[in-house]
Amino acid sequence: MDPELYNRLGAIENFSAYVNAALEEKINEYRWIPNVDIHKHAGLSAKTFLERIQYVEYLRVRDNDLKFTFYPTDKGELEENKRLYAYANSEYNKVHNQYIYFNLEFPTSFYLFLRTNPWNNVSKAIQGFLAAYYFLKPDKRELMTRQLEPTILKKALSIYESKFSPLETKFHLFLNEDSYDEIDEEKYHNERRAFCIKYQQVLTEINLVPLVYPYITQVLQHDYPFNIFEMMSFSKSFDISINAAYMRDVYQEKDDWQTIVINENESKGTLEREESQKAPFQSWKEYFKRFNYTE
């Protein structure tokens, strides 16, 4: 992990302080998080691993190769969420598939969200987010019912029924402002404000406030005065893309991982390819050597 980030995490004990720190600085930045245990995936010591890749100068890079989704539609997407969570919490080698990942680039604030929460909290945040979205988007409910992974849907609907459903009547009255033609303007705004405050309280009760990751905050959380109904037109992607620097292990003995790392015959390949980049490899190597105390 980046030493600066590591020190900042270690110095903050209160989770709410993470929120403030994340919102105040570098909220939109991305950060490469290196896999400092990758030699273990190869069954090699750190020293031997570096010897095997001594001529490598690049890694293949794929934008949006991996994704964490707040809208899981099947068990495969749930499993990828868990693998990315594991990587962010130092279980780096759980993320590999036909690609062997040396370095993943996370949005900094999202990385902090994963790093500072147990998996149970992350899972509940997804469920709570979907429950609130179901509440805010009546026209999307049938589609959500068809698309969402069944176990997640069931939990999200349970939260909706217990927390958001009691707000339903007022919400629909506010959607139809003609219903308030005979109510004076001051009363209308007071009732609207009371509704918004209650909505905010519900978000707090289901642990969606505060959250480090601003995606959820942007959709669900606003201080009054705000127009909650503008959020009904929200159309951003539900997925957080994670860029990846990797070696390929698709074609077994003929591919990068096998020819450079696994085979004992010395390879002098630099792995310079059209899709390759130097910077992710250099940052990975620097932190790998520092973490594993190799010369």
> Quick one: pLDDT at residue 157?
96
255 burial level (CB within 10 Å; 0-12, 13-18, 19+): middle
Task: Say which DSSP state 207 is in.
Answer: T
Statement to judge: residues 133 and 95 lie in one domain: no
User: Which of 25-39, 87-101, 229-243 is modeled with the greatest confidence?
Assistant: 87-101
Higher pLDDT, 19 or 85: 85
Q: Which of 239, 243, 219 is nearest to 70 (CA)?
A: 239
Residues 273 and 217 in one domain: no
Domain boundary among 233, 267, 282: 233
Structural domains of the chain, count: 2
* Boundaries of domain holding 214: 120-233
Does residue 112 share a domain with residue 11? yes
Of 275, 233, 234, 283, the C-alpha closest to 256 is 275
**Are the beta carbons of 163 and 135 closer than 8 angstroms?**
no
User: Same structural domain for residues 33 and 97?
Assistant: yes
Give the pairing of strands 99-107 and 30-34: antiparallel
- For residues 243 and 224, state if they share a domain: no
Same domain? For 228 and 260 the reply is no
Q: Please give the Cα distance from 54 to 59 (Å, whole number).
A: 13
Q: pTM score, two decimals?
A: 0.79
Residues 110 and 252 grouped into a single domain: yes
**Last residue of one domain, picked from the residues 233, 248, 265:** 233
Summarize the confidence of residues 84-97 as an average pLDDT.
96
Distance, in Å, from the CA atom of 239 to the CA atom of 237, rounded to the nearest integer, reads: 5
Bond preceding residue 210 cis, omega within 30 of 0:
yes
Does the pLDDT value for residue 24 go beyond 60? Answer: no
Dihedrals phi, psi of 66, to nearest 5 degrees: -120, 155
Query: For the ranges 60-74, 173-187, 193-207, which has the lowest average pLDDT?
Result: 173-187
Q: Are residues 213 and 225 in the same domain?
A: yes
- Pair 111, 159 in one domain: no
Q: Alpha-carbon distance 246 to 186, whole Å?
A: 60
Domain boundary among 194, 210, 233: 233
- Domain co-membership, 260 together with 225: no
Distance of CA 87 to the CA centre of its chain: 11
